[in-house]
C-alpha cells in the first residue's frame, strides 16, 4: 500500500515510524509501521478511519505489562498515554469518568485529592485502566472479583470510527464483551468507574509451613482478612503469607533492614543468573534468599505496617519474568498444590502428572491468590476466567529472566504445570505466558460465553482490524467467520526472530505479515445496531467529505504531528 493517507488537515495525526515496542518484561518486541499517540476522540476516530482505508490492523497498547505477544504488531500501534485525563469526579457517589489511557498510579493520585481510591488492586499500579480491564486483571481478596468489577460504563471507538457507549443497561452485550476485550473490539476511550472512600490497610507478613497453609485453607486463611496473598516456596515446603485489613490505626512504614532492599535484590538476581548454569542450586537459593528476607523458620520473623491501600496493596515484582497463571475453583487448591509440590519434589505417584521432573529445578515463588466474582451483581464479562458460583484460586508459576535471559527449565515446567491446570479444569489468565491451548479447547472452556463474545466482536469489527496472531492462535474465530478470508485485516505472524540489538537478552522480535494490507473500496459493512449510540461526530462527517473527494492528501513523514 502506498503510504499516502487521506487526512483531515484540522485533526492532528501524531505518529512516528521508528518506535520499538516491547513488553515490560522485554520478552517480546515489535516494530510497528506507525506508532500513534492521539490526544482527542476526533484524532482516535480519524486514525481508525485511516487504518480502515489503508487496510491496516490496529493494536492499542496500554503500558505493555501483558507478558505475552498480545500487544505486538508490525502494523499500527496506538497508545493512549496522552489521552489520560480525569473527565469527571463525583466525590459523593464515587463515580469517576476518565480517558482510557490513564495509568492506575496517576488515577490513584488524582482520586486521593477527592478522598477516593480503587477498592482493589493487583501487584502493581503501572498499568493503564483500559489494559487492566481488557485482560481480566485481578488482585487477591475474596471480597472482590476482577478489578473491572468497579466499571460502570465504557466508551469505545469501533472499526467504523463510531464512538459507542455501553453499560449493563445500554448495549449490555457490548459491555460484557468489552469488560475482557483482549483489545479485539475497538479502542476503549472512556471509562466510568465507581471508586470508594480512601482507606488504610494494616498488613502482616510471616512465614508458614505448607502444611499450615493447607490446614487453614478452609479455616480462615482466605477469609480472616480482606486481602490475602500467599507465596508458595515449593522446595522449602513453606510459604510467605501476607494479610491485610482495613484499619483506622495511624500509618506506620514497614521496617527496613540492611538486606531487604537493594542488597537482597542484587543477591537474588545474581543467584538466579548463576542457577541458569547450575540449576540444582535453586532449592538452596530458595532457602537462602527467602530465609534472609522472611526468616528461616515459620513464625520467626513477622513484618507489619500500616499504609494507604493505594500503595500498601502493591508489591515489588523484582525482575523480568515469565508468568503463567491459571484460575480454578478455590476448593481445588489443596489438591493442585499437593500434586505440583509432589511433582517438583520427585513424587510422581502423588503428582499424577505424566512428565518427568528429573533434573528440573524451578524458581519460586508460585503466587497463590484469590478472588470471588460470584458476589458481583453486575453482568459478568463473557471471557471472565473465574468461577461463576464461588471463590476462585489463582496459581501463578513465576520464572524470572535474570539479566533478561530465559531460564532453562521453562518448557518442561510449564508443560507439566499447564497439564495439571487443564486436568483440574482451570482457565488461563488472558494476559500471561500460557502456551497455546488452541482455539477449540478455549472455546469449549467458555462455551456459549465464547460464542457471545465472538458474535459481538464480529459485529463490531467484521474485517478483523483489531485482531492478530495471538487471537487467531487462542480463540475460535473461525466459528464466527467461515475462514480467515472473512477477516482480511487480521495480522498473521510471519516470523519470530532474535533481536539484533545489544541489551535485550533473549527477547524475541515478533514480525507480522502484510496480508490484507491493500487498499479496498469495499470494507465489510458493519451490521451491529446500537440503540443509543452517539451521532456521527464532526470528524466522521469530515471523512464523508474526504470520501467524496474533497480531501487533502498528506505524505506521512517520520513525525506527522499535524
Binding ligand LLU7NYM2 (rule: CB under 6 A), the pick from 323, 330, 336, 460 is 323
Burial 472-507 (b: 16+ CB within 10 A, else e): bbbbbbbebbeebebbbbbbebeeeeebeeeebeeb
Identify residues 388-447 at the interface with ligand FAD (CB under 6 A). Answer: 429, 431
Residue 70 CB, nearest approach to ligand LLU7NYM2 (Å) = 13
Assess contact for 285 and 271: CB atoms under 8 A. Answer: yes
Binding ligand LLU7NYM2 (rule: CB under 6 A), the pick from 128, 392, 398, 481 is 398
349, with CB counted inside 10 A (0-12, 13-18, 19+), is exposed
Can you count the helices (H) and strands (E) in the chain? 15, 25
Give the distance, in angstroms, between the CA of residue 113 and the centroid of all CA atoms in the same chain.
27
Residue 364's binding partner out of ligand FAD, ligand LLU7NYM2, none, with CB under 5 to 8 Å set by partner kind = none
Identify residues 22-41 at the interface with ligand FAD (CB under 6 A). Answer: 24-25
Residue 326 CB, nearest approach to ligand LLU7NYM2 (Å) = 12
Binding ligand FAD (rule: CB under 6 A), the pick from 317, 424, 511, 554 is 317
Residue 70 CB, nearest approach to ligand FAD (Å) = 5
Residue 387's binding partner out of ligand LLU7NYM2, ligand FAD, none, with CB under 5 to 8 Å set by partner kind = none
Helices 172-179/439-460 angle, 10° precision: 130
Binding ligand FAD (rule: CB under 6 A), the pick from 27, 71, 167, 542 is 71
Q: Which stretch binds ligand LLU7NYM2 (CB under 6 A): 156-164, 236-244, 317-325, 528-536?
A: 317-325
Q: Which residues contact 138 (CB under 8 A, 6 or more apart)?
A: 122, 144, 145, 146, 147, 369, 371, 386, 394, 429
Q: Is 118 in the site for ligand FAD (CB under 6 A)?
A: no
Nearer to ligand FAD, 396 or 524 (CB): 396
Q: Is 16 in the site for ligand LLU7NYM2 (CB under 6 A)?
A: no
Q: Is 146 in the site for ligand LLU7NYM2 (CB under 6 A)?
A: no
193, with CB counted inside 10 A (0-12, 13-18, 19+), is buried
C-alpha cell at 102: 490513564
Residue 367's binding partner out of ligand LLU7NYM2, ligand FAD, none, with CB under 5 to 8 Å set by partner kind = ligand LLU7NYM2
Residue 369 CB, nearest approach to ligand LLU7NYM2 (Å) = 8
Assess contact for 382 and 409: CB atoms under 8 A. Answer: no
Cell 478483523 belongs to which residue? 464
Assess contact for 391 and 222: CB atoms under 8 A. Answer: yes
Beta bridge partners of 19: none
Q: Which residues contact 295 (CB under 8 A, 6 or more apart)?
A: 206, 207, 301
Q: Which stretch binds ligand LLU7NYM2 (CB under 6 A): 105-113, 315-323, 415-423, 524-532?
A: 315-323
Q: Is 64 in the site for ligand FAD (CB under 6 A)?
A: yes
Binding ligand FAD (rule: CB under 6 A), the pick from 49, 75, 117, 135 is 135
Tell how strand 321-329 and strand 392-400 pair up.
antiparallel
Q: Is 59 in the site for ligand FAD (CB under 6 A)?
A: yes
Identify residues 169-188 at the interface with ligand FAD (CB under 6 A). Answer: 181-183, 187-188
Nearer to ligand FAD, 122 or 407 (CB): 122
Alpha-carbon distance of 134 to 136, in angstroms, equals 6
HSE value, Cβ hemisphere, 13 Å, CA-based, for 55: 17
C-alpha cell at 25: 518484561
Residue 396's binding partner out of ligand FAD, ligand LLU7NYM2, none, with CB under 5 to 8 Å set by partner kind = ligand LLU7NYM2
C-alpha cell at 430: 488472558
Residue 130's binding partner out of ligand FAD, ligand LLU7NYM2, none, with CB under 5 to 8 Å set by partner kind = ligand FAD
Q: Is 128 in the site for ligand LLU7NYM2 (CB under 6 A)?
A: no
Enclosing H/E stretch for 238: strand 238-247
HSE value, Cβ hemisphere, 13 Å, CA-based, for 50: 31
Neighbours of 114 (CB within 10 A): 17
Q: Is 396 in the site for ligand LLU7NYM2 (CB under 6 A)?
A: yes
Query: x/- contact string, 53-92, with ligand LLU7NYM2 (CB under 6 A)?
Result: ----------------------------------------
Please give the backbone phi and psi of residue 354, each rounded to the nearest 5 degrees, phi first. Answer: -85, 45
Nearer to ligand LLU7NYM2, 140 or 171 (CB): 140
Identify residues 365-384 at the interface with ligand LLU7NYM2 (CB under 6 A). Answer: 367
Q: Is 66 in the site for ligand FAD (CB under 6 A)?
A: yes
Identify residues 260-279 at the interface with ligand LLU7NYM2 (CB under 6 A). Answer: none
Q: How far is CA 80 from CA 32, 52, 190, in A?
A: 15, 19, 11
Residue 117's binding partner out of ligand FAD, ligand LLU7NYM2, none, with CB under 5 to 8 Å set by partner kind = none
Residue 64 CB, nearest approach to ligand FAD (Å) = 5
* Alpha helices by DSSP H, 323-372: 333-344, 348-351
User: What is the contact surface with ligand FAD in residues (CB under 6 A)?
Assistant: 24-25, 59-67, 70-71, 80, 100, 122-124, 127-128, 130-132, 134-135, 137-138, 181-183, 187-188, 317, 429, 431
User: What is the contact surface with ligand LLU7NYM2 in residues (CB under 6 A)?
Assistant: 122-123, 317, 321, 323, 367, 396, 398
Amino acid at each position: 500500500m502506498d503510504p499516502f493517507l487521506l487526512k483531515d488537515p484540522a485533526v492532528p495525526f501524531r505518529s512516528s515510524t521508528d518506535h520499538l515496542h516491547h513488553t515490560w518484561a522485554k520478552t517480546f518486541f515489535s516494530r510497528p509501521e506507525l506508532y500513534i499517540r492521539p490526544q482527542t476522540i476526533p484524532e482516535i476516530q480519524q486514525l481508525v478511519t485511516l487504518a480502515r482505508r489503508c487496510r491496516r490492523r490496529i493494536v492499542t497498547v496500554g503500558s505493555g505489562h501483558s507478558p505475552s505477544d498480545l500487544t505486538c504488531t508490525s502494523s499500527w500501534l496506538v497508545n493512549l498515554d496522552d489521552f489520560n485525563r480525569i473527565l469527571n469526579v463525583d466525590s459523593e457517589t464515587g463515580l469517576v469518568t476518565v480517558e482510557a489511557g490513564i495509568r492506575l498510579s496517576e488515577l490513584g493520585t488524582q482520586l486521593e485529592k477527592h478522598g477516593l481510591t480503587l477498592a482493589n488492586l493487583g501487584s502493581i499500579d503501572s498499568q493503564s485502566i483500559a489494559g487492566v480491564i481488557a485482560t481480566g486483571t485481578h488482585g487477591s481478596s475474596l471480597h472482590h472479583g476482577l478489578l473491572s468489577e468497579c466499571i460502570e460504563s465504557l466508551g469505545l471507538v469501533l472499526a467504523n470510527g463510531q464512538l459507542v457507549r455501553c453499560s449493563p443497561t445500554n448495549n449490555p452485550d457490548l459491555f460484557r464483551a468489552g469488560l475482557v476485550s483482549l483489545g479485539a473490539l475497538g479502542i476503549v476511550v472512556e471509562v466510568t468507574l465507581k471508586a470508594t472512600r480512601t482507606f488504610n490497610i494494616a498488613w502482616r507478613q510471616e512465614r508458614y509451613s505448607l502444611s499450615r497453609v493447607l490446614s487453614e485453607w478452609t479455616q480462615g486463611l482466605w477469609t480472616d482478612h480482606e486481602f490475602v496473598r500467599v507465596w508458595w516456596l515449593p522446595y522449602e515446603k513453606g510459604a510467605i503469607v501476607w494479610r491485610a485489613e482495613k484499619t483506622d490505626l495511624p500509618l506506620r512504614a514497614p521496617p527496613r533492614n540492611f538486606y531487604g532492599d537493594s542488597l537482597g535484590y542484587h543477591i537474588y538476581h545474581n543467584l538466579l543468573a548463576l542457577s541458569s548454569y547450575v540449576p540444582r542450586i535453586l532449592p538452596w537459593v530458595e532457602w537462602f534468599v527467602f530465609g534472609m528476607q522472611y526468616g528461616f523458620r515459620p513464625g520467626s520473623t513477622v513484618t507489619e505496617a500500616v499504609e494507604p491501600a493505594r500503595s500498601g496493596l502493591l508489591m515489588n515484582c523484582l525482575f523480568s519474568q515469565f508468568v503463567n497463571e491459571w484460575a480454578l475453583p478455590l476448593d481445588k487448591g489443596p489438591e493442585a498444590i499437593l500434586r505440583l509440590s509432589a511433582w517438583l519434589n520427585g513424587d510422581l505417584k502423588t503428582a499424577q502428572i505424566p512428565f518427568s521432573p528429573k533434573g528440573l529445578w524451578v524458581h519460586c515463588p508460585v503466587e497463590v491468590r484469590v478472588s470471588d466474582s460470584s458476589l458481583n451483581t453486575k453482568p459478568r464479562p463473557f471471557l471472565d476466567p473465574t468461577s461463576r458460583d464461588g471463590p476462585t484460586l489463582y496459581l501463578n508459576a513465576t520464572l524470572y529472566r535474570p539479566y533478561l535471559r530465559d531460564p532453562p527449565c521453562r518448557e518442561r515446567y510449564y508443560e507439566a504445570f499447564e497439564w495439571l491446570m487443564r486436568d483440574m479444569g482451570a482457565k488461563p489468565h488472558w494476559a500471561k505466558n500460557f502456551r497455546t491451548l488452541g482455539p477449540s479447547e478455549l472455546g469449549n472452556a467458555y462455551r456459549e460465553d465464547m460464542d457471545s463474545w465472538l458474535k459481538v466482536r464480529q459485529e463490531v469489527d467484521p474485517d478483523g482490524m483489531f485482531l492478530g496472531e495471538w487471537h487467531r492462535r487462542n480463540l475460535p474465530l473461525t466459528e464466527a467467520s467461515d475462514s480467515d478470508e472473512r477477516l482480511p485485516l487480521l495480522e498473521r505472524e510471519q516470523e519470530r526472530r532474535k533481536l539484533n540489538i545489544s541489551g535485550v537478552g533473549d527477547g524475541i522480535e515478533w514480525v507480522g505479515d502484510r496480508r490484507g494490507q491493500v487498499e479496498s473500496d469495499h470494507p465489510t459493512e458493519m451490521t451491529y445496531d446500537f440503540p443509543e449510540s452517539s451521532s456521527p461526530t464532526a470528524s466522521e462527517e469530515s471523512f464523508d467529505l474526504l470520501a467524496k473527494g474533497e480531501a487533502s492528501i498528506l505524505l506521512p513523514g517520520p513525525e506527522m504531528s499535524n
